[in-house]
């Protein structure tokens, strides 16, 4: 069954289950959760469970959304015992046996966020109210992620964030029902700044072009503060609309600004277009202040590198994960090859970091339900908070209880000068260890003392 924004996969389910509302999440712990099969939003009653995958199928981040959907589909196959099992075979937790989630076969619905917060909320709301989704995941925009996370908190649904990089998602806008595996702006700045200083020097003047929404703001702040701590100066920072496709008018002023580095706080199609315009205006060949002009893209992916083509060569940035990690850096990143093989066999291409984080989030949710013995969202929260795991491609990882942010190594990358094929466009420069990108839960970039998770909401 289809509608303008939704594709239904599997059995139709509607409405929320009725039952006794849980008084507070702290009453039910351990074995008690296993008995709490009703009294929460969309408690599964049959032999299947429905998940909602809400991604940009249109708009500037549509390429990322398409890869996220591929990964979600693969994760469902593996959870249901189909295919080669992928990371189920390498995950340090061993509750996932290919028999669904908590013994229920996994079905799913999909929606198009359009890279717009209002559309994303409407899409997620329909998944919850019409299709009976017990968990929602996805998104490639932090504005979308924050909006949908807030909706899930209100509805009593778990939100397993997909690609969202703004500090706000697990910072000032963190929610008890929301969890993020992907890294964030602060981590990019902390990982990149020392390498930028080492490669380009400490006496640099930076000009920022920044996407005009929460991800752009926090990425600009994180990179600015980290590079200024290395001795750089920020000469200007200009906001650009998310809907912008031609950045020529924004590039022209850079040439006469006194800057010798352009920082593009852009993602997806925005980054491809702005980088292309910068190269067309000759910035890659320019000199300023007696130095070679440089361009930095704090966050980018293999998908964006494909879109940018040869323009990505030599550009430094950061990633949450890279499909070459295990081959190049060994068994610390076990799980990477298993996922790459499964994904490649099904789709004929290596997965992006967006695909990886969405696949991993689906497995982490399923494992949490199994360990808790219940789909009750407060049981899932309890199972994920403080959870330490390995074997999912990033090395040892912690889901910190205080803010529901994953902490793991960060990958610093550079566009390859001489790629061997269309998928070999990025090289790993360094992997920054977890302790160098870790911060306090009340860090000023994350809302300070005012930022709190609040209470888990089981809904119903």
pLDDT along the chain (460 residues), means of 10: 35 32 35 59 95 92 92 98 96 98 98 90 95 93 92 97 95 97 98 98 98 93 98 98 94 95 94 95 95 96 89 96 97 98 97 96 98 97 98 98 98 94 92 98 96 93
The whole-number pLDDT of residue 30 equals: 38
Q: Give the pLDDT of residue 24.
A: 33
Confidence (pLDDT) at 36:
53
Give yes or no for a contact between 348 and 341, defined as CB atoms under 8 angstroms apart: no
The token pair at 430 is: 């360094």
Dist. CA 166–CA 184, nearest whole Å:
6
Cα 37 → chain centroid: 30
Is-contact 313 281, C-beta < 8 A? no
pLDDT, residue 22, reads 33
Pairs from 121-127 (Cβ < 8 Å, separation ≥ 24): 121/147, 121/148, 121/151, 122/5, 123/5, 123/6, 123/54, 124/52, 124/54, 124/148, 124/151, 124/152, 125/151, 125/155, 126/5, 126/6, 127/6, 127/52, 127/54
- At residue 353, the pLDDT reads 94
Q: What is the pLDDT of residue 37?
A: 66
Which among 146, 159, 310 is positioned nearest to 218, based on CA atoms?
Answer: 146
Determine whether 38 is exposed, middle or buried from the number of CB atoms within 10 Å of its CB (0-12, 13-18, 19+). Answer: middle
pTM of the model: 0.90
Burial 370-403 (b: 16+ CB within 10 A, else e): bbbbbbbbbbbbbbbbebebbbbbbbebebeeeb
Is domain 186-319+412-437 given the CATH code 3.40.50.150 in the classification? no
Supply the pLDDT for residue 303: 85
Domain 8-183+330-407 indexed as CATH 3.40.50.2300? yes
pLDDT of residue 39: 86
* Cα 213 to chain centroid, rounded: 16
Backbone phi, then psi, for 105, in 5-degree steps? -65, 140
* CB distance 214 to 185 below 8 Å: no
Residues 6 or more apart whose CB falls under 8 angstroms from that of 180 comprise 145, 161, 164, 169, 170, 404, 405, 406
Q: Are strands 316-319 and 294-299 parallel, antiparallel or unpaired?
A: parallel
Provide the pLDDT for residue 420: 87
Residue 422 is predicted with a pLDDT of 86
Our CA angle for 118, 138, 404, nearest 5°, is: 100
Q: What pLDDT, on the 0 to 100 scale, is given for residue 268?
A: 86
CATH 3.40.50.2300 range(s) for the chain read 8-183+330-407, 186-319+412-437
pLDDT at 140 (0 to 100): 76
Question: Considering only CA atoms, which of 179, 94, 174 is closest in space to residue 382?
Answer: 179
Contact by Cβ (8 Å): 159, 178 = yes
CA dist 78 and 96 (Å) reads 9
């Amino acid at each position: 069954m289809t509608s303008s924004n939704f594709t239904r996969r599997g059995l139709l389910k509607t409405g929320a289950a009725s039952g006794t509302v849980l008084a507070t999440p702290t009453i039910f712990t351990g074995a008690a959760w296993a008995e709490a099969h009703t009294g929460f939003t969309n408690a599964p009653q049959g032999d299947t469970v429905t998940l909602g995958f809400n991604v940009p199928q249109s708009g500037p981040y549509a390429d990322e959304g398409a890869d996220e959907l591929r990964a979600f589909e693969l994760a469902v196959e593996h959870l249901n015992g189909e295919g080669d099992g992928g990371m189920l075979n390498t995950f340090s937790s061993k509750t996932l046996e290919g028999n669904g989630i908590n013994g229920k076969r996994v079905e799913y619905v999909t929606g198009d966020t359009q890279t717009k917060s209002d559309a994303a909320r409407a899409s997620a709301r329909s998944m919850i109210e019409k299709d009976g989704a017990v968990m929602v995941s996805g998104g490639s925009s932090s504005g979308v992620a924050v909006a949908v996370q807030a909706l899930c908190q209100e509805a009593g649904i778990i939100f397993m964030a997909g690609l969202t990089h703004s500090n706000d998602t697990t910072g000032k806008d963190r929610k008890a029902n929301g969890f993020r595996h992907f890294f964030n702006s602060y981590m990019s700045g902390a990982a990149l700044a020392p390498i930028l200083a080492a490669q380009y020097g400490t006496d640099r003047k930076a000009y920022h072009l920044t996407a005009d929404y929460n991800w752009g703001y926090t990425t600009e702040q994180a990179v600015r503060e980290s590079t200024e701590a290395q001795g750089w100066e920020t000469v200007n920072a200009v906001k650009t609309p998310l809907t912008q496709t031609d950045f020529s008018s924004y590039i022209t002023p850079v040439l006469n600004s006194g800057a010798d580095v352009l920082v593009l706080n852009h993602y997806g199609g925005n980054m491809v277009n702005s980088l292309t315009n910068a190269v067309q205006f000759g910035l890659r060949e320019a000199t300023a202040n007696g130095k070679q002009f440089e361009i930095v893209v704090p966050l980018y992916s293999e998908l964006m590198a494909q879109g940018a083509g040869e323009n990505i060569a030599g550009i430094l940035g950061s990633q949450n994960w890279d499909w070459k990690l295990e081959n190049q850096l060994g068994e610390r990143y076990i799980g990477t090859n298993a996922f790459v093989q499964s994904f490649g066999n099904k789709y004929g291409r290596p997965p992006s970091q967006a695909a990886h984080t969405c696949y991993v989030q689906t497995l982490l949710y399923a494992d949490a339900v199994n360990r808790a013995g219940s789909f009750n969202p407060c049981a899932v929260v309890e199972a994920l908070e403080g959870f330490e795991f390995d074997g999912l491609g990033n090395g040892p990882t912690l889901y910190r209880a205080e803010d529901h942010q994953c902490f793991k190594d960060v990958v610093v990358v550079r566009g390859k000068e001489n790629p061997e094929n269309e998928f070999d466009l990025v090289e790993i420069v360094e992997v920054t260890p977890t302790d160098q990108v870790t911060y306090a839960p009340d860090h000023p970039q994350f809302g300070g003392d005012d930022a709190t998770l609040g209470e888990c909401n089981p809904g119903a």
